[in-house]
A = this chain, B = another copy of it.
Amino acid sequence: MLTDEQKSFFKKPNFGHLATLNADGSPHVSPVWIDVDDEHILINTAEGRKKLRNVRRDPRVAMEVHEQENPYSILSLNGEVVAITADGADEHIDELSLRYLGKEKYPFAQADEERIILKIRPTKVIAP
């Protein structure tokens, strides 16, 4: 679904801006670290976060990503959360920590935090 060029946005330490839907249907937007596998965009979040409650209720999301060094190089997409899993999420947040912060161990973990991976299937991509 994503071209290699589009995937490259998600393999660099760029920030994503993830829009989800609140219970009353209003939008919510939050900054996220981003990653990608063969088919999905991957977001690492934690139990208790609003975006997680939101996508459990309604899986429709939108996301915008711009290259950190060029805020006018922008990719945006609509998508759907097709999987929500704790499998591999602790290892994954450490990988992201290394990519974004240069730290092998994610330094912001809270006590008893349960990390969760959201897998997003893009349904529409607007990109360079």
**How near does chain B come to A27, taking the closest CB pair, in angstroms?**
4
Q: Are A66 and B31 in contact (CB under 8 A)?
A: yes
How far is it, in angstroms, between the C-alpha of A48 and the C-alpha of B70 when the chains are bound?
Answer: 26
Question: B29–A76 contact, CB under 8 A?
Answer: yes
Residue of B nearest to A24 (CB): B60
Chain A interface helix/strand/loop/mixed: strand
Count identical subunits in the complex. 2
Interface residues of A in 1-38 (CB under 8 A from B): 15, 17-21, 25-31
Q: Find chain B residues with CB under 8 A from A31 CB.
A: 17, 64, 66, 71, 74
A62 close to B (CB within 8 Å): yes
Centre residue among A19, A76, A78 by max chain B CB count within 10 A: A19
Residue of B nearest to A78 (CB): B26
Q: Within 8 Å CB of A25, what residues of B?
A: 21, 25, 60
B17, B26, B74: the one within 8 Å of A64 (CB): B17
Task: Compute how far the CA of A13 lies from the CA of B9 in the bound complex, rounded to whole angstroms.
Answer: 23
Given contacts A17-B17, A21-B25, 7 further A-B contacts (CB under 8 A): A19-B27, A20-B27, A25-B60, A27-B29, A27-B61, A27-B62, A29-B62
